[in-house]
Amino acid sequence: MLPEWRSLAHMQCPLSELLEFAVQLTVGAKISGFGGVGYLLVDKGTPIGAHFSDDFRQLEGDEALEYIQERPLLEYEIKIYNADEMNLAINHCAAQGWMIPDSSTRREPADTETLVTEETLLSIAKQRGVIVVSAFFEGFPVQSVGIGDFEYEAAIAEDLLRAGKKISDDLGIGPLDQMIIETPKGKYLIAPYHDLSLFVHATPDAHLGMIRLALKGIQ
């Protein structure tokens, strides 16, 4: 099922204007117009799931998107999704056959939660000085323990991870294993974990060696 609905905005416009509005957002949009209704899932300006139906047609995926793109004006009832709602929407679109093939590789409608458990994260969180441990996927937290703004930190960690991968590729030193950022105010570690990634936020007095060892133990 789709996330519980509470509309945050309404737009009457062509699809291009909706995508421009959502270029930095993850949104779901209920669609109405031309005698039909539909649904569109958009991640940072890119449609990844679509559906449209009326008395004459039942369109899904790229066929629905093409039909929506061709309408000069539609009514969009918009909800901005958080990470949990996004995962729920992706799984619903996948189950209904609404995913758009060209975009499905960007965010898999996967059971990523099954790859990491709270117990796994707690094995790292119990190390001295650890504040937050979170598993994330494309900038969205999947499972987290500790105290912090998980969504904000996951988004920052994703940017750092991509930069680190590019640097390691440019240097020709092989795939990224772990990243460490250390300042007088704290320590930050990022590491790949199956199809996900992990970040650890720790205090200045945290024992990096023990944290790194704990990360290695679950990778």
What pLDDT digit, counting tens, does each position of 81-125 carry? 887 788 888 888 888 989 887 554 344 444 444 457 778 888 899
Confidence of residue 76 (pLDDT cuts 50, 70, 90): very high
Residue 40 domain-assigned? Answer: yes
Confidence of residue 202 (pLDDT cuts 50, 70, 90): very high
pLDDT exceeds cutoff 50 at 75: yes
* Predicted pLDDT of residue 113: 44
- The mean per-residue pLDDT over the stretch 134-144 comes to 85
Q: Which domain holds residue 75?
A: 9-103
Asked whether residue 117 falls in the same domain as residue 31, the answer is no
| Tokens (6 digits) for 147 | 């105290």
Residue 53 domain-assigned? Answer: yes
Residue 98 domain-assigned? Answer: yes
Going 99 to 100 to 105 to 107, the CA torsion angle's sign is: negative
Domain endpoint, select from 103, 133, 151: 103
Asked whether residue 70 falls in the same domain as residue 133, the answer is no
Asked whether residue 127 falls in the same domain as residue 184, the answer is yes
Going 190 to 192 to 193 to 196, the CA torsion angle's sign is: positive
List of residues 6+ apart from 192 with CB closer than 8 A: 175, 176, 177, 198, 219
* Predicted pLDDT of residue 115: 56
pLDDT exceeds cutoff 70 at 57: yes
pLDDT digits (tens, 9 = 90+) for 171-194: 999 888 889 999 999 999 998 887
Distance CA 152, CA 129 (A): 20
Question: Residues 73, 78, 84, CA angle at the centre, nearest 5°?
Answer: 145
* Predicted pLDDT of residue 73: 94
Pseudo-torsion of CA 26, 32, 36, 39, nearest 10°?
Answer: 10
Asked whether residue 85 falls in the same domain as residue 50, the answer is yes
Q: Extract the runs of DSSP E, i.e. beta strands, from the chain.
A: 9-13, 26-33, 36-43, 46-53, 58-60, 74-80, 130-137, 140-146, 179-183, 186-193, 196-202
Domain endpoint, select from 103, 137, 163: 103
Cα–Cα distances in angstroms (integers) from residue 190 to residues 95, 141, 177, 185, 197, in the given order: 32, 13, 9, 17, 7
The number of folded domains in the chain is 2
Asked whether residue 211 falls in the same domain as residue 117, the answer is yes
* Predicted pLDDT of residue 213: 80
Residue 2 domain-assigned? Answer: no
pLDDT digits (tens, 9 = 90+) for 7-54: 788 999 999 999 998 888 889 999 999 999 999 999 889 999 999 999
Confidence of residue 219 (pLDDT cuts 50, 70, 90): low
Residue 211 domain-assigned? Answer: yes
* Predicted pLDDT of residue 78: 95
* Predicted pLDDT of residue 35: 95
Mean of the per-residue pLDDT values of the chain: 86
* Predicted pLDDT of residue 16: 94
Asked whether residue 148 falls in the same domain as residue 173, the answer is yes
Which strands sit side by side in the sheet containing 58-60, from one edge to the other?
A: 9-13, 74-80, 26-33, 36-43, 46-53, 58-60
Asked whether residue 148 falls in the same domain as residue 63, the answer is no
Lookup result for tokens 């960007």 = 106
Asked whether residue 98 falls in the same domain as residue 116, the answer is no
